[in-house]
Amino acid sequence: MSEDSSADTSSCASCGIAAVDGIKLKECTDCDLVRYCSDACKQDHKSQHKEACKKRAAELRDELLFKQPESRHDGDCPICICISLCSSIQRNLTGGMLQQKLKKGSSNHR
């Protein structure tokens, strides 16, 4: 079987057997371009599939690596959430300490 970007995923890439009731095809774990009915078919087809598989696997890695977040809201970013939370805690702590100092200072002046 020839392999291209519009590969038939409803049949085994090696032997061509169709996915029917009793036959479940397993997809290539690296590229998801092709499916196989058995480990033997996967091994037999490996030499034909290797180049396209490497190319597609690299594309998938790049898509994951360079994917922009869907939302640009600071609340979605774990780092921004932490910074915001830490800033809030720090303000509360320093504000509380300042209030204590002011109370101490005002009680000393009486």
Torsion sign across C-alpha atoms 37, 48, 44, 30: negative
Burial 42-57, CB ≥16 within 10 A → b, else e: beebeeebeebbeebb
Reported confidence tier of residue 78, pLDDT bands at 50, 70, 90: low
Q: What is the pLDDT of residue 66?
A: 83
| CA 78 to chain centroid | 15
pTM for this model (two decimals)? 0.53
Spell out where the chain has E strands. Answer: 26-27, 35-36
Segment 33-77, tens digit of pLDDT: 999 999 999 999 999 999 999 999 999 999 888 877 666 555 566
Segment 5-27, tens digit of pLDDT: 445 678 999 999 988 878 889 99
